[in-house]
Amino acid sequence: MRRAHTVEQVRAAEAELMAKLPDGMLLQRAATGLAVAISNFIGFTYGARVVLLAGSGDNGGDALYAGEKLARRGAQVVAVLLSDKYHREGLAALLTAGGRVGTTDDIATADVVVDGIVGIGGRPGLKPEARDAVRRAEEHHVPIVAVDMPSGVDVDTGETPAEHVKAALTVTFGTHKICHLIDPAAAACGPVHLVDIGLDLPPAPIKSLQSVDIRKLYPVPTGESDKYSRGVLGLMAGSAQYPGAAVIATSGALAGPIGMLRYVGPDAVAEAVRAEHPEIVAGEGRVQAWAIGSGLGDELDVPKVRDLLDGDEPVLLDADGLKALDDTGDHPSVLITPHAGELARMLGVERSQVESERLKHAREAAERFDVTVLLKGSTTVIAAPDGQVRVNNNAGAWLATAGAGDVLAGLCGSLLAAGLTPIDAAAAGAYLHAAAANLAADGGPITAMQVAAKVPAATRQLLGKGLLEGETSG
């Protein structure tokens, strides 16, 4: 599990640890890990041309001390000082080791630029001198390794309201920060390498579940299981206008852990679903959960859906089903799966606002509607009404294809019917959905039905082999 802590939490943990360690020891731990990560990133050390962008604060100190360690191993290290408040002890150590102070002209011939411009407490955006240095690295196609986070992003929200560094690698210390997991800042981080510096941290407000966590959640049947005890899902999807959505959502649901699916919809659509999946049962009956909305279009029955929302079974609302939700009731067992445009309509804001402030708006919707929100996107943000937040970021870009959301709705509904809580169903569903897409894509285009077809294979990998395609062990 990857845990992301706030700046306040990290600073408190660092202060507690520094009180127990000799002066400078914590900084040296971070600098050593940073130096190793830089060497591994460029693939060599002796003769490497390294330019440090050193601002004020500890991140600049980390960069300077890391530069000192690289210089002692034969690297040609140049420090570009972007603040009069640079870390003087760090610069002295670098100069003693053979490094030198240079200018942004040195960036043009560098193998790597190290972003030590601001620390985790810095404000979004870059000052002019830092902006010019970063632009020069971009112009000359020199990769940037960020210290702790790309300078200029908002650490605690994942937002990027101003110009910022776009890193090829981010090296962080002690724990992940929120910007490492939440887009759009996460996209600016590149791969994130975590260096353990011994922090004792409180519970994290944001978590990203990995394969071992999802494996523990997944409802595996036992020898005593039958189709009813495994879970029965009621699916209300598709219409004369969008019959394919019912077929796709059914495919996603049947690829999950349920024992049976009841399809409720127009006869003509039921026939299309049955033609693809003869094992479904058409018509209403007892279920353990509902998945409602994919492709309903104008055939959404709002009063009926609201009756189900007030019932005892958990409900997943997707697409058109979201129109039946209001903010007047208590819906702790409801899971909604909007994309940015749908959530924007629900909250009365512009889509661009949701896309740029994903965490903020997912939390706002969870609190306002008293539901668990799965906000789809390049990274999936899952926010529960009790404040829990989980993030899924193992999806590849090929998953952005028509009907993929219908697969996800069916799969998450299946997990709800099998007994998972809304937040666990959302986390497990998003994870397996992305893993299945990675398997199906194999580096090329895919369709929604191909994603659904790979969910069982992704599940077998999860339960038997551990790491899935698209996931790293870092």
pLDDT of the residue at 360: 98
- Tens digit of each residue's pLDDT (9 = 90 or more) over 264-277: 999 999 999 999 99
**Which residues pair with residue 50 across a beta bridge?**
77, 112
Spell out the domain ranges in the chain: 2-197, 211-464
pLDDT of the residue at 329: 79
Q: Which fold has domain 2-197?
A: Rossmann fold (3.40.50)
Residue type, 395: A
The arrangement of strands across the sheet holding 176-177 comes to 176-177, 2-5, 206-208, 389-392, 380-383, 372-375, 334-336, 315-317, 289-292, 232-236, 260-263, 281-282
pLDDT along the chain (474 residues), means of 10: 97 97 96 98 98 93 98 98 95 98 98 96 94 98 98 97 97 98 97 97 97 96 92 97 97 98 96 97 96 96 96 97 91 96 98 97 97 95 97 94 98 98 98 97 96 97 68 48
pLDDT of the residue at 378: 85
pLDDT of the residue at 470: 52
CA distance 432 to 148: 29
Q: Which fold has domain 211-464?
A: UDP-N-acetylmuramoyl-L-alanine:D-glutamate ligase (3.40.1190)
Return the number of other C-beta atoms located less than 10 Å from residue 432's C-beta. 29
Distance (Å) of CA 401 to CA 227, 254, 338: 32, 20, 15
pLDDT of the residue at 374: 98
Q: Is 20 helix (H, G, I), strand (E, B) or coil?
A: coil
**Which residues pair with residue 238 across a beta bridge?**
none
**pTM more than 0.85:** yes
